[in-house]
Copies of this chain bind each other. A is one copy, B any other.
């Protein structure tokens, strides 16, 4: 079986961002899945040292372009800010277009409170559909994020391991078949 490449996009550049824990957790778990290679795309690093207005011409963007271009699918880590997606994630997404088409995307959403970012997921869907992405039905929700991981970045509620595995399996299943749409 040909190996799949599925980068993980950490979609917030905020200081003290909690979503970093989720991205690290997923990156670690994804290594255990056979047949998938990954890479961390940190929106903060891509934007590092760059001012906003000319950001579209950011040289770092070529790194994202190259990664997205060869990706077979994506995982987006999306904290919910005021029922919507982070602006910096949208700027990143808007910097490319055709690189996304015919690829599955799984969303891991994050919130400080009860809902785990469920509303940000819904808010992002029209954008993803416009890119001809195929969003997974089942997002991975990370509520009460400040309490979710231990000091070593391990997830406290081990039932997440199973959910995470199913999330990856679904992504893998779609990614393999959807290669047939990009020939």
Residues of A near any B CB (own CB < 8 A): 13-15, 44, 47-56, 81-94, 97, 101, 114-115, 118-119, 122-127, 129-132, 134-137, 141, 173-174, 177-178, 180-181
B82 close to A93 (CB less than 8 A): yes
Decide if B129 touches A83 in the complex (CB within 8 Å). yes
Shortest distance in angstroms between A142's beta carbon and chain B's nearest beta carbon?
12
> Shortest 5 CB-CB distances between A and B: which pairs?
A87-B90, A87-B91, A87-B87, A47-B52, A177-B180
Determine the distance from Cα of A56 to Cα of B86 in the docked complex, in whole angstroms: 12
A51 near B54: Cβ-Cβ < 8 Å? no
CB distance from A99 to the nearest CB of B (A): 13
Contact in complex: A52, B54 (CB < 8 Å): no
* C-alpha gap A105/B92 in the complex (Å): 27
Question: Are the CB atoms of A132 and B137 closer together than 8 Å?
Answer: yes
Number of copies of this protein chain within its complex = 4
Most buried by B among A49, A81, A90: A90
Contacts of A48 in B (CB 8 A): 51, 53
Give Cα A93 to B123, complex, Å: 16
- Known contacts A119-B119, A129-B137; decide if A52 and B88 are in contact (CB<8 Å): yes
Residue in B50, B127, B136 whose beta carbon sits within 8 Å of that of A83 in the complex: B127
Residues in B whose Cβ lies below 8 Å from that of A50:
51-52
Residue among B13, B87, B101, B178 making CB contact with A53, cutoff 8 Å: B13
